[in-house]
Amino acid sequence: MQQLPSPQVLTDVLPSVIFELGQRFVDSGFELSLVGGPVRDLFLGRVSPDLDFTTSASPDETLAAVKGWADATWEVGRDFGTIALRKGEHTIEVTTYRADAYDPSSRKPIVAFGEKLEDDLYRRDFTMNAMALRLPGLELVDPYNGAIDLSVGEVRTPGTPSMSFSDDPLRMMRAARFASQLGIDVADEVRTAMTEMADRIKIISAERVRDELVKLINGIDPRAGIDLLVETGLADIVLPEVSALRLEIDEHHRHKDVYQHSLTVLEQAMQLESDADGPVPSPDFVLRFAALMHDIGKPATRKFEPSGAVSFRHHDVVGAKQVKARMRALRFDNDTTKAVARLVELHMRFYGYGDAGWSDSAVRRYVHDAGDLLQRLHRLTRSDVTTRNKKKADRLSFAYDDLETRIGEISEQEEMAAVRPDLNGQQIMELLDIKPGPVVGRAYNFLLERRLDNGPIDADEAVSALREWWAQQPESDQQ
């Protein structure tokens, strides 16, 4: 970990609005400090886009101090001591020193304003976020040794972990998130408190848990964060399907450790993400979460065969349903939920190709079914190979190389990513002289299936095929 840069360097790298604002508060007779994540990030060699400040001024005094300087102010967080403002391109939050208490049945604080910066820092989640820079002189205030904890790579709390997590149980999720984002560990006492108090996460809203989970999955080391959730029991509550992957290994070791396999698939999927200009820019939550969840249907479908082998038939379909249910419980949006579930459902499709090869029709269906998820499906399928048998791994890799080559060749001949029937719904209704309804949908699906099987045909052939199909439908006799 880097040390805090010198005041001269900080003056050069930090936005000038920080110093302008600090001087205004000092001139008004108040203290102002840059606090929390922005200070932590300076130790990590980066400048945070967030600008959070804490002050001895009350909300009214803050408004008076920035009057005529800020371009705009907002008082939505006034009851919690926070005044938001905009200066140029910067959005800034200034919060009065706090010394909050919490209702044990809720994560909402009972707001009490404090008088000292050190007291305000004590109420923060972790020591690495309980550092401040007094302005405008840039004096570091670090009463709880956050810089030391950051340098040794440990997450600690300013007070006792049990008190911190009792006050705000979401901090347990944040601990796992920071383990992932920063590639660091949590102190033993923090891990113990998380284990003992995991059940308190139930009072946190699903939306807040979801937001922390997304940040964890998108971190540089999500395996560390997920392991922490599983080991402490938090995953039993917020992501129980992942905890359930720790299947009991049968005595003959005839199936993989599904949990460790899933974490390896996640890591391998991350390595296949593209840069910002590529098809799957890193970090890609949909790909990563699908990689983690792709085998969650296995515990429910595990079967010991008479031969002693272990099977997981249809775990892909079962898993897709489980993913939908879990993501809906966590209040994910519909598009993200559908995308992850679809990848889980399709992740086994390739193995039929690897075993016997596919017709052009099957290749078309693979592309059609994947739709705009095709690039992610390529990466998920390749990541799912974790065997130590090099010959088997090479065979699967070669087979998928061949499949991608064939997709490319057929795509050159057809617009496979947007395969549609050769006639649209309006043309179907006009040709058959029918009104909108289920029959149109059936005709459309017939033409789509024909298109996938045989490739594109000209308009006359499509009309002829449609009329032939229509002659066999019971509705045709009613006209």
Residue pLDDT, tens place only, 79-93: 889 999 999 999 999
444 contacts: CB under 8 Å, gap ≥ 6: 421, 425, 428
Judging by beta carbons within 10 Å of its beta carbon (0-12, 13-18, 19+), is residue 209 exposed, middle or buried?
Answer: buried
pLDDT number for residue 254: 45
- The band of 102, judged by pLDDT with boundaries at 50, 70 and 90, is low
Residue of higher predicted confidence among 308 and 402 = 402
Q: What is the mean pLDDT of the chain?
A: 87
Greater confidence (26 vs 77) lies with 26
- Compute CA distances 422 → 29, 418, 440, 469, 470, whole Å: 75, 12, 14, 14, 16
- 405-421 residue pLDDT tens: 888 877 766 555 456 66
Which residue has better confidence, 71 or 471? 71
**pLDDT band with cut points at 50, 70 and 90 for residue 159:** very high
Check residues 304 and 336 and name the one with the higher pLDDT. 336
- The per-residue pLDDT for 238 is 97
Mean pLDDT of 8-36: 93
Give 84's strand partners.
74, 93
pLDDT of residue 475: 75
pLDDT band at 278 (very low <50, low <70, confident <90, very high): very high
- Cα 93 to Cα 346: distance, rounded to the nearest angstrom: 45
Q: Is the pLDDT of residue 255 over 50?
A: no
pLDDT over 60 at 10, yes or no: yes
Answer yes or no: is pLDDT of 250 > 50. no
Max avg pLDDT among 100-109, 231-240, 300-309, 454-463: 231-240
Q: Mean pLDDT, to the nearest integer, of 26-54?
A: 93
- 173-187, 261-275, 338-352, 460-474: which range is least confident on average? 460-474
Topology, domain 7-152: Beta Polymerase; domain 2 (3.30.460)
The residues spanned by each domain of the chain are 7-152, 155-238, 257-416, 420-478
Q: Of 217 and 470, which is predicted with more confidence?
A: 217
This prediction's pTM: 0.81
For the chain, percent of residues with pLDDT exceeding 70: 90
CB atoms within 10 A of CB 329: 12
Pick the CATH number of 155-238 from 1.10.110.30, 2.40.50.140, 3.90.1150.10, 3.40.50.300: 1.10.110.30
